[in-house]
Amino acid sequence: MAKSRTNLRSELGRVRGLGSAKEGVQHWWYQRLTALALIPLLIWLVAGLVAHAGIDRAGAVEWLGSPVTFGLMLLVLGAGFWHALLGLQVVVEDYIHHEAAKLTLLILVRFLCIVLALAAAIALFDIAFGG
C-alpha cells in the first residue's frame, strides 16, 4: 500500500507520540512560567529595595525576617535559579555540538545552579534568623 503523505517521524516517535526532543514543550512551558512568576516578584523586590534604601543592618534583618518578605525572597531565588538553569540548558544544547562537552557542560550548569541556589537560601536563612 502506498502512503498518501510523507511522515518524517520515527517509528518509535509515532508509537510514543513524542517529538524528536521528547520534552521540548514541557521545558518551553517551564521557562515561560518562571518568566511570568519573576515579573511580579522582581517588581516587588525592586520596590522593596528602593523603599528600604539606606537602612542599617538591623533594619535589613528585620525586613528579611518578616514571614512575607522571607517567603517572597525564597520564591525569587527559586524561580530565578530555575529560570537561569532552563535558559542555560537551552544555550548549551543549541550551541555546543560535541556530545561529551555538551553533557559535561549540562552537568556543570545544573550543579552550579543548585549549589548557588542553596548558598543563596542558606545566606537568606542566616540573615533573616541568625541576626
CB-based contact 80:38 (threshold 8 Å): yes
Helix ranges restricted to H, the chain: 11-16, 24-51, 57-65, 67-95, 99-125
How high is the pLDDT of residue 7? 63
pLDDT digits (tens, 9 = 90+) for 74-99: 999 999 999 999 999 999 999 999 99
pLDDT digits (tens, 9 = 90+) for 33-78: 999 999 999 999 999 999 999 999 999 999 999 999 999 999 999 9
Model confidence, pTM: 0.78
Structural domains in the chain? 23-130 (1.20.1300.10)
How high is the pLDDT of residue 36? 98
CB-based contact 64:124 (threshold 8 Å): yes
